[in-house]
Structures are given as structure tokens and as C-alpha cells.
Structure 1
Amino acid sequence: MYLNVHSQYSLRYGTMPIPKLVEEAAARGITQMVLTDINNSTGIMEFMRECDEKAVKPIGGIEFRRDKHLLYIGIAQNREGMKELNDFLTEHNLEKKPLPVIAPAFKYAFTIYAYGHQAELKKNEYLGIRFDQLNQLFNKDLLALKDKLVALQPVFVLDKIEYRLHEYLRGIDLNALLTLVKPEDKCTPTDMFLPPGQLEAKFSRYAFILDNTRKLMNSCIMDYPKGRINLNRRTFTGNKKNDKELLEKLAMSGMEYRYGKSNKEALKKVKHELKVIYELDFCAYFLITWDIIRYSSSQGYYHVGRGSGANSIVAYCLKITDVDPIELNLYFERFLNAQRTSPPDFDIDYSWDEREDVQDYIFKRYGSQHTALLGTMSTFKDRSIIREIGKVMGLPKSEIDGFTDQTRAAVNRNNATFKKITAIYERMANMPNQRSIHAGGVLISEDPITYYTALDLPPKGMATVQWDMYEAEKIGFDKYDILSQRGIGHIKMAVKLVEENQQRKIDIHQVKLFMKDPVVNAQLRTGNTIGCFYIESPAMRQLIRKLNCDNYLVLVAASSIIRPGVASSGMMGAYIKYHHAPETVNYLHPVMEDQLKETYGVMVYQEDVIKICIHFAGMDGTDADILRRGMSGKYRSKKEFDRLVERFFEEAKKLGRPDDVVAEVWRQVSSFAGYSFSKAHSASFAVESYQSLFLKTYYPKEFMVAVLNNYGGFYNRALYVHELQKSGANVHLPCVNHSDSIVNIMGSDVYLGFVGVHGLTDTFITSIPEERQENGLYLSLEDLVKRTGLGLEQAIILIRVGALRFTGKNKKELLWEVHLLMGAKVRVTNDNELFKLEAKNYSLPVLVNTDLENAYHELEILGFSLSISMFDLLETDYRGELSANDLINHIGQMVRMVGLYVCEKTVHTKTGKNMWFGTFLDAEGNFFDTVHFPNSTPAYPFRGAGCYLMFGKVVQEFGFASIEVLKFAKLPILANPVME
């Protein structure tokens, strides 16, 4: 009898998750019900799965609302009806049209209007009447309505407690105090499952209404296949046989390109993989990915294929990835095997400014009805919930701030208001809050995707499903990850700049040559990697130097052991130790030496777990990967996982492995697998790192300009400008006669762009260089103002940053001039004047502009000083006792250093206290690193950008020197003369 049931997916309205909703219904003996969440079908497929488990008949529907008011309820008669409802909602979402007051005539769906609706009802339309409205039927002629009335008992909450939670959700949604939430903005206190028999009893005088309701529900059947089936586009060519032949042809051609004509090992691997791909029906998945790469390459876009897909030699031959799985001994089973419980996927990275075009191609190539972006569901989390609850309770901001302050936890614990908030928080935590968009997942379906979901149109402007990747996986969709990252933008632009600035063409895909280049590897070994993707962070540069890393394989390992789990387990330390002294490695068993010699017996990658399971314990590749996934908490069933653990020991025993060795190997495998990292991922990162490093080594100016123009990476803009200066570039402040919107380079001269000028509007960022290119250099301040229409405020910004220094006048003179000029209300013109009138000249007193004033202008407008270094802004001339490069010669000594703050990292000790790692530049522009332990550090040691005086002990680990800081203070700088 329940035609109007809502879950938590009726966002900020319903309170029950779908499993609980179905469980409660089953417990009350309810045999069928309709899920009708508000303006979405997010939960329909999950609802059907849960109902099947509890022997409840599921019926799908949507409650349509406009401006938060109920219009009508759509109930699907079958799969086609659900598609009709989804299509209807999708059309209005994508075209941003308001829902109509009158529903269309659905062919396979019923429409329920609330009692009181006046329009004439069509064939599949009904009036839903609530039990508290039945008195309105008294003494009324029901002949015309008798077949059109159905029982309407909405369900939003479980009980009275959840009704109170519902009120808080409504307050949050409306951004209103609880006391100001109107009755029409929330459900009624009775909108819940009634005790068994009570609903029928309430309608007992109108049995025909119950009969109509049963008849309607009995006629509905959600005729979807049960269980997970493959819902992806099933063919690329339109025919599976043709798909198979095309994939084989492409793989064989690619194998010859990658390995030559006579590589038997490669041929064997390709044939094995093709067989598995055929059997698991993944030909279309590979071919569609190949097609995406083919398109992007035709546009001149550069991509990086990474993820577990890099374990596939077929992917390597199709140029989906650039990682050679033979060279790295990668296991295909890590990517695809017959027992894999979750679909594999390729992660394809593009430059941030090219990804949307690739996505647009996919939508146009495979059809808007069959293509959509993946959604995500953000939830109520942590302190944000406390703030939201506090606001609807009407608490002042200061009190809310106190409740979210971790340092006041002990005080808050006994506060009655905080206890109330905590009780609400516990019920609201992790509830869905709003739908959003996945980072890069794309779905391509065989059938129209609206059979399974309505579509949203987020700000990105591409149709997006209403559920997330986890639900997609359960339903039967495999996603294509089309991602973006800045590192690819750096590479792409640097190659272009080298061609323009030095007339040299670079084949950036010749990575194997870069890996063998001694100059590139020497640069890697020194940790001089600022701007290089994935290897520029302080922690990574430290690790590179500790390892004396100078080759690809070690860099691949470094890219994995830097991850928190591996590092905190002690395996990173063990790897570094054995890397310097491989003769000291004590292998547990000869198999461990055979399989892990490359990493000195230390498990570094997920693939190492698979190796050991196969070669030490005698398991096959499929079971080994399932076991690995199980240890990461991703097993299909605990029972199956336990069976495989037992098999590990049984098979190892059959091979004659000693019991104590088996136990120790298992301990290492099981403790590592939970946070292990894919070698294919690491290898993909290392390939891209080498490309960046090659450019930085041979073309450092162009490379750093590219980094700046792609908005940097790990560090702030000032550091990349510093690195650009170190490369030998003459870096100039923005100039209206030389700068473009972005940073430009000509020879060794680099002009900062207008994009980095704080306060300059987008209009002038683009129009100033465009006007100059079209009509020539600017001749004066007045000429600039006339040709571009600059207002006073924008002109002052440009003057203060030094962008009009071409005039030969200092800033103070120009500021006088611009005020006089703007007072005359200069007329903007881009036309040639018939008579050019000379600007009036005024006699001004001598106005002096100091370097210190310029530095403060730059700090304010650019965020850093280019004219004067931060060290020269200090009140003191003291620069420390030694330089960063001399630290290694003072191990164990107490020293004083002065450093310019670059960045910091906060970590938590085992006792829960905070400690910090800092990175600084010395007065010579070289890096050094610091450690700040809790017992010798204030609650928060850093006070923002600037120079610090440090006193501490020089320590070293594997030849890398740093300072354990005991005392730490920020140094004052010279006062701003303008402010005095």
C-alpha cells in the first residue's frame, strides 16, 4: 500500500538509507512498495537489489517537485516506464527547464496527483488521498472518482526521533532556524510506515481505494535482469567477431612497433592476454580506449596511460600506456582475470586544458543517450555538520566555533548544548548531502543509460548519472577514467616553447633514451627536480638523494615506497638501507631472492604480493590477485578469502616450504598488502617524471615558464620564479609593451604575465596584449588608457606593479599623471585620430621611488618580490653561520641558520602530538630541510611566509643532511615606507 516511499536520497528530506528502509518494510510484512525519491532515481537499482534479498517486490518511481512543492508522483509499470520517468526528468535537468504543472501522458508509467488536483485525469493518472483527508469524501458523489482514488501514505522517516532529524535536515536545506521552517516545507509527523494493518484500518470505510491501490501496484513489475550483468557498450565495430579481429590486428601491429618482429616473449604474452580479453568480453573496452587515444593523438594531445591497465602488454602495444610490462615484469592478472570482482579500468591523464575536448569527443562519438559522466555523492562530514546544526539551532558563531575547536574538547564534553548537537551529529554523519561529479569517470552503455538513472547537468555542462562509481560497478558498468593533471600541461607547453624559442623539435615520447641519458640521470641524483611531476615534493627529493637515485627502476621503486603506508611500516627504511648495502640482505628463502632481488627482498609493490603467492606458495595468478585484493579489504566474501589463505599455506607446504618460513612470509605479505601500491602506477609516474626531467635538464627556462603557465605544482608561484632565475633567465616584471596574459619567453628574457597580477580583471588581462598586437606598442600612459579603456583603479595597479616603466617615469610621477588624466575623463578610442593632441605637461616636484617601496608593491600585487630578495628586506644583515650546501660538513653540530620559508608538512606522532617538517631556502637560494619535534616546538611554529632564524642540530640519514630545530623565530622585515 506504500506508493510514495523515500530514502536518504531525497536529499536533506528523507532519513532512511535504502537497506534500512527495506529491512523495516519487510519486518512489518510489507510485500511491495514504490521508491519515489524527490527529483531523482539515485537509489532505484540499489532498492531492487535490497528488495530481492528481503523478498519484497520493488517498484520504481520518482516524486516530481518544483520549488520544493509537490507536483505529482510517477510510478513505473516496468523497465520502459522507469526509462520514461528518467527521460522526462533528464530532459528538464539538461535543458534547465522547470517541470510542468501537468505531467505528460506516460505510456508505461502511472501518474499520481495529490487529492484536490482539478484537471481532468488521463488514462494512467490517479488521485492520491491521505488517510487524514478521507473526511473530505463525506457526502460526496464518488462515481466519477471511484476508479481514480488510491491510498497515499508517504514515508520519509522511521519514527518520532527521525522526524526530529528530518526537521534539522529541512532547516539546513532552507538555511533557516528550526523555528522558522514552515509546515509545508517538511513532512507530517505521520509520514512513516504504520503498524501492520493500521493503514488498511484507516481506509476500511473506502475499501475500493485499497483495491485500486493494490491493482495499480500488482500491475507493476520491474523487469530488469537480476544480478550484475555487463551493461557497457558491447562492441566497437558493431560485431563481436570483427572486434576480435581488429583488436588482434592492432595488437600485433603494435607489438612489432614496440618490440620488433622476432620477440617471442612478447608474442607469447600478447596471445595469452588476447585470449583472456576475448573470453571475458573486454574487446570493446580495449578498442574504445584505443579509439579515444587515437582521437586525442590526432589533435596533438599528449596523454599518460596509467593504473593497473599498464600491466597489460596489449595496452602497451595499442599505445594506451607507455609502460613496458616485460621490462618491469608486470602481471596481467593484476589488471584483468576471470575472478576479478570489480571491473578494471584505464586511467588516462590529459593536460588540464585538453580533457574536456576528449570528453566531448566521447559524447559525440558514442551518442548522448549512451554516454554520461559518473556522479559522486558528498555526505555530511565532521565539523561541517556541527556548524550546520548549530546554525539552525540559532547559536552564535562564537559558540559554534568553540564547539568545532579541538583544543576545547574536554570543556565541550560536559556542555548540554554540545551533547545535543553530538546526538544529532551521530545520526546525520555520512548521510548523503548533495550529488556531485566524479573526477573523470565516463560511462558508455549498450542501452540508453536512462534505463538505469536520470541525468543531472552539473556546472561542467555534461550529462551526469545520479549515482557514484560504487553503484555503477554493482549495476554492471565499467568506467573509463579520463583525468587531467598539471604535469602533462607542463610537458606539452615546454615542448612547444622550445620549438618556438630555440627552433628545436623534441620527440617527448622517446622516454627510453631519456632514461639512459647520463646528464638527465645526474640531475635526478642531485634531487634538482623542482617542477617535475611527482618527484618535486620535499619528501620525494629527500628520498631521491638518500637513494642516490639515478635510474628508472630505482625511481619506480621510490615512487611506491614514498607512499605513507610503505614509509610508516619501515619498509622504506629497509629498502634504502639495502640499496646501499645489498650484500647485507638476508633472504627468507631462495624464492624470495629470485622474485624480490630487484627490491632487496622488500615488498614494494602490489605485484610483489602476487609474485610471492605464485612462486613461493604455488597459487595461480587469478587466485593470487583475489588474495591481494582481499588483504586490502576488497574481497567478495570473507569465506572465499579465508579459503584462499588456507590454500596459501596448503600449496606452500606441498612445495616443501618450511612451516616457520611460510608463517613469516605470510606475515610480511599480509601486513604489506593492505597499503601496497601498484608497480604499474609507479612506472607510469616514473615515465612522466623522466619526460619532465629531460626538459628541465636541457631546456630549463622553457620548462619553468611552462610550469608557471600551467599554474605550478607542489609549491607557490614565487618558488617557480626563483627556479626560473636560477636557470639563467632574465625575469622581468609585467610590462604592457612586452607581457602577454601568461608568462612569455624570448631568448633568455622572460616577462611575467598579467594573469599573476592581483586585482587586474580578466578583461584587461586579455585586452591589453591583444590591443598591442593588433595596433602596435603603447606610446604613453594616455595612449594605453585611450586604447584599452582602463579605469583609474586598474591603471593604478599596473603603475604600482611597474608595468608602465617603458615611459621612463617613476611610479609616483605616473600616479600623479593618471589622476590628472582620469580627472579629464579620457575618451576611449581604438580609431586613428585625425589630429593627435599632445598631452598637457605639468611641472611636478622631484618624486623619488625607492627599491623598498617597489618591493612592497610587488609583495602586495604579485605575492612575491622580484626586485629585492626577501633576505634583503630583513632588518638584520645576519644570514646564518653556514650555507645549505655546507650542512653535510657539520653533522652532529649545533648551528644557526637563516632560511626563507618554502613549505611545511604536519604529521602526527604515535602519541597523537603534532610534529613538523619544514623546507627553506638559504641566502644563496639553495634548499635545506628541518624537523620540529613536539617537545622542542611551540603549538604551531610557523608564522606564514618570510625568513626564520633557526637553532638546531645537524643530522644526516643516508648522506642527506637536515636540521633538528630546537629554537625557531620569524625575523622582522623593514617597515613599508608608504605606511610610515
Structure 2
Amino acid sequence: MSEFIHLHNHSHYSLLDGAATIDGLVEAAVEQKMPAVALTDHGVMFGAIEFYQTAKKAGIKPIIGCEVYIVTQGTRFDKEVNPKLLAAGQGRGIYQHLVLLAKNFQGYKNLSKLCTLGHTEGFYYKPRIDMELLRQYSEGLIALSACPAGVVSFHLVAGNYEPARAMAVTFKEIFGDDFYLEIQNHSLEKEKSILEGMPRLAKELGIKLVATNDIHYIKQDHAVAHNVMLMIPDASANSASDYHNLRYQTDQIYFKSAKQMCDLFKGYPGAIEHTLEVAGKVEEFDITPKKPHMPEFPIPAESGVSTKGEYLEKLANEGIEKRYKELTPVIRERLEYELSMIKRMGYEGYFLITQDFINSAKRMGVRVGPGRGSAAGSIVSYALGITDVDPLKYDLLFERFLNPDRVSMPDIDVDFADNGREQVIEYVRQKYGAESVSQIITFGTLSSRAVLKDVGRVLGVPLSTTESITKLFPVNLGKVMPIAEALEEIPELRWVKDSSDEKIQELVHIAKILEGMNRNSSTHAAGVVIAPGPISDYVPLYKTPQTELMTQYNMLDLEVAGLLKMDFLGLRTLTIIENSLRLIKENYGVEIDVYSIPEDDSKTFELFGKGQTVAIFQFESSGMQEWLRKLKPNTISDLVAMNALYRPGPM
């Protein structure tokens, strides 16, 4: 087993600052035979779920943490610069750094709460907490004093020993033996006073030292690539930057071996050993719930039933009678089978919640799509009004939607007219509480095309050159071909691989290192999460002055965290249909029900056969129009088959 464990590590979830993937961090820890490793991204917990799962799978202990921004003099609400901090060159004069590690599940919950409040209450340049919040949510957390911008270190860097001592005393009062004085050695001038002052503080105050490396990338030779990443936000086209001049003034912030760290800190007794002590304090807790956190659907008192199962059955039986003129044994058996399966899997609440907001949307005049994906295979969905497609008519399978052998939440994607989507979300907020409903984060990545353009901009490679390369990268199933694969398989790109131009070679080399890393965050176009209480009790939330409130976990990670996520898709086509129906009624006095339009209308199929399908969803591309003219479909089944086959896979 390793003699040392890395406790201060930034991944690419420290957006455009960390150049290490989660896989890279965990693989490096495994390679070094470290029994544990920490993740401490700047002010966020974006990668916590992925990190937890990846580390567990690799057989090492995940230490979930965060390097938070904290206001130690004043409050999180202050928007004024602290002159002393500004003079010391720290955090624009408005914050310092502190590393927090979750020792147990309570610590994880408290860390999540602190990360949320930093965004919702303390955001000013960065998501900031203050001493009040830290005291309130300190249970279950281990604190390290962080880097030269840390709560104790920045005083030492400024030559102010007594304020550093006072700050260390304060944090010891809060965390007791779970507060450690952090020392780092990246051969930086400002670290000298820290390396001198911290041992003195440790001796005087009885606080243990702990050695860390402020990891921002995995390998030392990734330093320039990391520096290029830092320059991406400010780089302009055709204007080369001095990208070899490292902004962080060191190439030492990589994943060093245990031996390297032991050699580096051999003059600091206990600093290495205490990394094992810290890791040993972290319990093996599970952040994935045994069952989903479902919001409670209120059963109307007038329904005459008391359980969700009974109410679901009541609504389904009432709905099925409206859907079919005659209830045959086949229909009844299918309904009973699906209801029994839904109850067995415990998803009654899911169906009740979904039918409620869909039917409420219809009552509000928001047009809803007939059904999307595997949910259309459910007769219960059809009976409840969730879908408007008869699964028996089209011989659709319920098991593709809900299968007891595949333990995962059902997934019903719902299309709303794009001009009414927000109205439906607001209804859900009103029903379950604003604190219980949130949008969901998504991350834009440095795909092969994007990273070549971004890196090219920093390196001063002409935009025309990078575009001549990136335009040749094919897209397969919605994903752009990776750089290495494209250079091997695309003959027109062979010149890039064989180029003797040093700038082109460096472009490719750096782009390969950064490829696939996160570039930015944004709001998921459709995702909405609904919790049984305040969402911040379950997962951390993210908000800046430029963004709305959203979860810090993406769609996949939210499912792992056990929260109910829904896709509320805003579809322009539905708005066009709604507007068309309204204009027909206004101008001609004719009211049309789109679901009563015959499916065998010959004039409609004539238009399809001529490829006259502009603005018809799924059929308006030039390629599809060409196939329509060739195949001349004349039934709905023909159109269904063409739509299914005209995909990147089949075609």
C-alpha cells in the first residue's frame, strides 16, 4: 500500500482550470497503489457522482470534497472588496480558499448544502460561503487550510503571522482534530513563507500538518496543455499567445508519485503520514439511495381511495373506458398486467405525477405531443392521457418501457408546444414547491472539432487552417470522430499527421490531451427534476448571476442520486400546429381536432410522395424528402417505417 494519498485534486469539472479527467485521477491512484483519492474541485461538486462510481469500481475509497471559496472577514452577502485581501493578492479581495472533505454521509450532505448556499446566497465572482455557514454545516467534514490562497496561508504569504495564528485557532475551534494545516511545494516563491510558518503554527497550536499537491493535471508534460486550457476563454482568432509562459508559474501541479511526495516533504514530520490518517477517517458511505426519492402525489379527498395504487387504478379504469368503444378481454388483460407491474415496481407515484402535469397542460391550452419513445407502448399511459397512441393498434411492447429485469426509473419524455413549456414547469413548481423543482445542468465538452479550434486560437494557428481540418471530421450517431481516429482513417487528413510544421504538430498534441474535457456548463434543454422536499437536501445546486437555478449533477448522475427527472421538451412544431388550428378557426370558423383527421387521406400522402414536407417534424431534411419522392409512402405504417429506418445506424 502507498505511504501517501492525494487529498487536493482538481478535475476538468473545475471548468477550464482542471485538465484531469475523473478516469485519469482514479487510474493514477490505482497505478500508485493508493487506497484512496480525493476530488476537490473549485466551488462545485459537479463530478462527485462520477468520481464516486469510478473510484468504487476501481476498488479505491472515494473522498468527496470541494475547495470552497470562503469569506472569513465579513459575510457571504458582502459585495465590497477587503483591502487587506486585495493587497495580499487574494481572491479579488473578497474570498479565500478552504478544502473540505466529507467524512461520512452527514458530511456529504453538509458539503452539498454549503456548495448550494455558496451559489444561491453568496455568489460574487465566485460561489462564497462564510464562517456562519461553515459553523452551521461543519458536522462530518474534515478541513484542510488549502493553497497559498487559503484561509491561513494567505496571511503567511503577506508576512502576517499573528492573523494566520488567529485564523488557525478559529478553524481548530470549529473542526477540532479534523482541521489540518496544509503545506505544498511547487517550487513557488510564495510557498517559502508557508513552509516556514505552518510547522511553527502546528507546534504552537497542536494542529497536524498534511502535505498535498495542488493537482490540476495528471502528467508533468501536460503543463503546457493545461496552460493552453487556461487561455481558451480569452484567446482571440489569429492572435498567438505566449502559451509556454505558465500562468501558474510551475509545472509541478501534477499527480506525483508517493515517493516524490515523501522525498519532497521528508523535512516535515507527519505531513505525509497524516494523509493516510485523513483518508482513514473517511467512512465507506453510500451516496446512492436504495430506492428513488419520489415526490408525494396528493390524492384528492373526493376520489374515495386512500393509496396511490388505488388512485392509479381508478384513473386508469376511467380513462380506458373513454379510449375504447368496447373493452375486450385483451384490453382488460393488458391493463391489469401493466397496473400490476407498475405497482410491483413501486412506480404508481411516477405515473400519477406525469399524468397530472400533462393533463393540466392540456387544460391550460398548452398543446402536448401524442407520445415519444417507449412510453407509447403502455396502455396505462394511453388510458391516463400521458400518450395518445393506442399501443394495441400498433402492437407496441410494454416491456420496452418498463421491465422488472431492468431496474431503472421509467423514462417518459413529453413534448410541449415551445411557447407553453415554461407554463407547465411553473405549474409543477406551484404544485410541489419552488424549492423542490429545478432545471438540470449539462456540460459542453472539448470535442475533437471544438478543441482543435480552441487550441488553434491560443496557438495562433489561422482559423482557416483549423477549419480546413475540422470540417473533414465525420459525425457518427451524433458524435464527432475523435482526433486520433480521424487522422488515421480520413485520407484527406493524412497531411496533418505527417506535417513537419511544428505549430501543427503542437496543435494536434495539445488538442489530444484536452479532447473530451468539459468546457462549459449550461441548462439542459429539456430536463426538470422534482424532489419530495427541497432539492438541496439531496443534491447540490448551481446558480450564477447569468444562469437560472439548476442541479450540479447532470441527468445521468441525478438518476444515480435517486431523483425523479423528467424531459419537458419544447417543440416548435407543436406551436406551429396550435397556431395553424387557431388561425383556421379565426379565419374560416372551422374547428379541427387533429386526432380525428383520417390516417388515409390521399391528398396528404400525395404531398409526402412529392417530398413537400418543409416544417414537418422528422420529414423535412433534404435527404428524407429525396427518399419520400422515391418510395412514395401511402400509409401511416410506411411513414413509421421510413422514419425508423432513416437514422444514422440503419442508413
Q: TM-score range by the shorter chain?
A: 0.7 to 0.9
Instruction: Map 1:367-382 onto structure 2 (within 5 A).
Output: 367-382=433-448
* Residue type at the aligned position of 1:352: D
Using the TM superposition, give the Cα deviation of residue 411 of structure 1 relative to its aligned residue in structure 2, in angstroms. Answer: 4.7
Q: Which stretch has the larger CA shift, 393-402 or 28-37?
A: 393-402
Answer whether contact 1:379 1:432 (CA < 8 A) is retained: yes
Per the alignment, residue 292 of structure 2 pairs with 231
Using the TM superposition, give the Cα deviation of residue 41 of structure 1 relative to its aligned residue in structure 2, in angstroms. Answer: 0.8
Using the TM superposition, give the Cα deviation of residue 454 of structure 1 relative to its aligned residue in structure 2, in angstroms. Answer: 2.6
* Cα distance change on mapping 1:560 and 1:400 into 2, 3 Å: closer
Using the TM superposition, give the Cα deviation of residue 460 of structure 1 relative to its aligned residue in structure 2, in angstroms. Answer: 8.8
Answer whether contact 2:68 2:129 (CA < 8 A) is retained: no
Per the alignment, residue 193 of structure 1 pairs with 255
SS of equivalent residue, structure 2 residue 16: coil
* Cα distance change on mapping 1:212 and 1:324 into 2, 3 Å: same
Answer whether contact 2:461 2:503 (CA < 8 A) is retained: no
Answer whether contact 1:29 1:196 (CA < 8 A) is retained: no
* Residue type at the aligned position of 1:192: Y
Answer whether contact 2:294 2:564 (CA < 8 A) is retained: no
* Residue type at the aligned position of 2:571: Q
Per the alignment, residue 154 of structure 1 pairs with 214
The counterpart of 2:454, out of the listed 374, 388, 411, is: 388
Note if 1:129 corresponds to 2:183: yes
Using the TM superposition, give the Cα deviation of residue 216 of structure 1 relative to its aligned residue in structure 2, in angstroms. Answer: 4.3
Note if 1:23 corresponds to 2:27: yes
Instruction: Map 1:945-960 onto structure 2 (within 5 A).
Output: none
* Residue type at the aligned position of 1:330: L
The counterpart of 1:163, out of the listed 223, 248, 254, is: 223
Task: Kindly provide the CA deviation profile for residues 764-802 of structure 1, in whole angstroms up to 9, marking residues without a partner as x.
Answer: xxxxxxxxxxxxxxxxxxxxxxxxxxxxxxxxxxxxxxx
* Residue type at the aligned position of 1:189: D
2: CA distance, partners of 1:403 / 1:518: 48
* Cα distance change on mapping 1:205 and 1:318 into 2, 3 Å: same
Instruction: Map 1:821-970 onto structure 2 (within 5 A).
Output: none
Note if 1:80 corresponds to 2:103: no
SS of equivalent residue, structure 1 residue 224: coil
Using the TM superposition, give the Cα deviation of residue 69 of structure 1 relative to its aligned residue in structure 2, in angstroms. Answer: 8.0
* Residue type at the aligned position of 2:144: I
Note if 1:420 corresponds to 2:506: yes
The counterpart of 1:7, out of the listed 3, 8, 11, is: 11
SS of equivalent residue, structure 2 residue 633: coil
Using the TM superposition, give the Cα deviation of residue 362 of structure 1 relative to its aligned residue in structure 2, in angstroms. Answer: 2.3
Per the alignment, residue 639 of structure 2 pairs with 555
Per the alignment, residue 960 of structure 1 pairs with none
Using the TM superposition, give the Cα deviation of residue 178 of structure 1 relative to its aligned residue in structure 2, in angstroms. Answer: 5.1
* Cα distance change on mapping 1:520 and 1:180 into 2, 3 Å: closer
* Cα distance change on mapping 1:522 and 1:411 into 2, 3 Å: closer
Answer whether contact 2:439 2:551 (CA < 8 A) is retained: yes
SS of equivalent residue, structure 1 residue 301: coil
Using the TM superposition, give the Cα deviation of residue 547 of structure 1 relative to its aligned residue in structure 2, in angstroms. Answer: 4.5
Using the TM superposition, give the Cα deviation of residue 377 of structure 1 relative to its aligned residue in structure 2, in angstroms. Answer: 2.0
Task: Kindly provide the CA deviation profile for residues 375-396 of structure 1, in whole angstroms up to 9, marking residues without a partner as x.
Answer: 2222112333223222322345
Using the TM superposition, give the Cα deviation of residue 289 of structure 1 relative to its aligned residue in structure 2, in angstroms. Answer: 0.8
Per the alignment, residue 159 of structure 2 pairs with none
SS of equivalent residue, structure 1 residue 127: strand
Per the alignment, residue 245 of structure 1 pairs with 310
Instruction: Map 1:236-275 onto structure 2 (within 5 A).
Output: 236-237=297-298, 242-260=307-325, 262-275=327-340
Unaligned runs of 5+ in 1: 569-980
Answer whether contact 1:3 1:152 (CA < 8 A) is retained: yes
1: CA distance, partners of 2:376 / 2:199: 75
Using the TM superposition, give the Cα deviation of residue 418 of structure 1 relative to its aligned residue in structure 2, in angstroms. Answer: 1.1
Using the TM superposition, give the Cα deviation of residue 502 of structure 1 relative to its aligned residue in structure 2, in angstroms. Answer: 2.4
SS of equivalent residue, structure 1 residue 558: helix
* Cα distance change on mapping 1:33 and 1:274 into 2, 3 Å: same
Structure number with the bigger relative contact order (C-alpha 8 A, sep ≥ 6) is 2
Note if 1:293 corresponds to 2:358: yes
1: CA distance, partners of 2:277 / 2:299: 42
2: CA distance, partners of 1:152 / 1:335: 48
* Residue type at the aligned position of 1:479: K
* Residue type at the aligned position of 1:257: K
SS of equivalent residue, structure 1 residue 288: helix
SS of equivalent residue, structure 1 residue 25: helix
* Cα distance change on mapping 1:495 and 1:59 into 2, 3 Å: same
* Residue type at the aligned position of 2:641: A
Per the alignment, residue 598 of structure 2 pairs with 514
* Cα distance change on mapping 1:276 and 1:203 into 2, 3 Å: same
The counterpart of 2:48, out of the listed 44, 50, 54, is: 44
Task: Kindly provide the CA deviation profile for residues 419-445 of structure 1, in whole angstroms up to 9, marking residues without a partner as x.
Answer: 221122222221222222322122223
Task: Kindly provide the CA deviation profile for residues 247-301 of structure 1, in whole angstroms up to 9, marking residues without a partner as x.
Answer: 1111111110001353221111111111111112221221111111122122111
Q: Which stretch has the larger CA shift, 375-384 or 209-218?
A: 209-218
Using the TM superposition, give the Cα deviation of residue 28 of structure 1 relative to its aligned residue in structure 2, in angstroms. Answer: 1.8
Percent of residue pairs identical: 28
Per the alignment, residue 144 of structure 2 pairs with 112
Using the TM superposition, give the Cα deviation of residue 9 of structure 1 relative to its aligned residue in structure 2, in angstroms. Answer: 1.8
Per the alignment, residue 345 of structure 2 pairs with 280
The counterpart of 1:357, out of the listed 379, 399, 423, is: 423
Task: Kindly provide the CA deviation profile for residues 42-88 of structure 1, in whole angstroms up to 9, marking residues without a partner as x.
Answer: 22122222222333222211113556985222222322322333333
SS of equivalent residue, structure 1 residue 334: coil
* Cα distance change on mapping 1:335 and 1:382 into 2, 3 Å: same
The counterpart of 1:55, out of the listed 50, 53, 59, is: 59
* Cα distance change on mapping 1:520 and 1:46 into 2, 3 Å: closer
Using the TM superposition, give the Cα deviation of residue 563 of structure 1 relative to its aligned residue in structure 2, in angstroms. Answer: 3.2
Per the alignment, residue 502 of structure 1 pairs with 588
2: CA distance, partners of 1:428 / 1:36: 20
Answer whether contact 2:612 2:625 (CA < 8 A) is retained: yes
2: CA distance, partners of 1:144 / 1:102: 26
SS of equivalent residue, structure 1 residue 74: strand
* Cα distance change on mapping 1:392 and 1:248 into 2, 3 Å: same
Using the TM superposition, give the Cα deviation of residue 317 of structure 1 relative to its aligned residue in structure 2, in angstroms. Answer: 0.6
Using the TM superposition, give the Cα deviation of residue 197 of structure 1 relative to its aligned residue in structure 2, in angstroms. Answer: 4.4
Per the alignment, residue 456 of structure 1 pairs with 542
Task: Kindly provide the CA deviation profile for residues 494-516 of structure 1, in whole angstroms up to 9, marking residues without a partner as x.
Answer: 12222222233333343xx4325
Answer whether contact 2:202 2:208 (CA < 8 A) is retained: no
Answer whether contact 1:370 1:444 (CA < 8 A) is retained: yes
* Residue type at the aligned position of 2:37: M
Answer whether contact 2:459 2:503 (CA < 8 A) is retained: no
How many aligned positions are there? 563
2: CA distance, partners of 1:325 / 1:376: 33
* Residue type at the aligned position of 1:26: V
1: CA distance, partners of 2:543 / 2:31: 38
2: CA distance, partners of 1:101 / 1:335: 43
Per the alignment, residue 618 of structure 2 pairs with 534
SS of equivalent residue, structure 2 residue 8: strand
Task: Compute the RMSD of aligned alpha carbons.
Answer: 3.4
* Cα distance change on mapping 1:236 and 1:53 into 2, 3 Å: same
Per the alignment, residue 346 of structure 1 pairs with 412
Per the alignment, residue 487 of structure 2 pairs with none
* Cα distance change on mapping 1:401 and 1:107 into 2, 3 Å: closer
* Cα distance change on mapping 1:517 and 1:187 into 2, 3 Å: same
* Residue type at the aligned position of 1:344: P
Task: Kindly provide the CA deviation profile for residues 655-710 of structure 1, in whole angstroms up to 9, marking residues without a partner as x.
Answer: xxxxxxxxxxxxxxxxxxxxxxxxxxxxxxxxxxxxxxxxxxxxxxxxxxxxxxxx
Answer whether contact 2:220 2:253 (CA < 8 A) is retained: no
Task: Kindly provide the CA deviation profile for residues 866-899 of structure 1, in whole angstroms up to 9, marking residues without a partner as x.
Answer: xxxxxxxxxxxxxxxxxxxxxxxxxxxxxxxxxx
* Cα distance change on mapping 1:506 and 1:25 into 2, 3 Å: same
Per the alignment, residue 432 of structure 2 pairs with 366
Instruction: Map 1:613-628 onto structure 2 (within 5 A).
Output: none
2: CA distance, partners of 1:361 / 1:561: 37
* Residue type at the aligned position of 2:355: W
Using the TM superposition, give the Cα deviation of residue 330 of structure 1 relative to its aligned residue in structure 2, in angstroms. Answer: 0.8
Answer whether contact 2:68 2:98 (CA < 8 A) is retained: yes
Answer whether contact 2:99 2:143 (CA < 8 A) is retained: yes
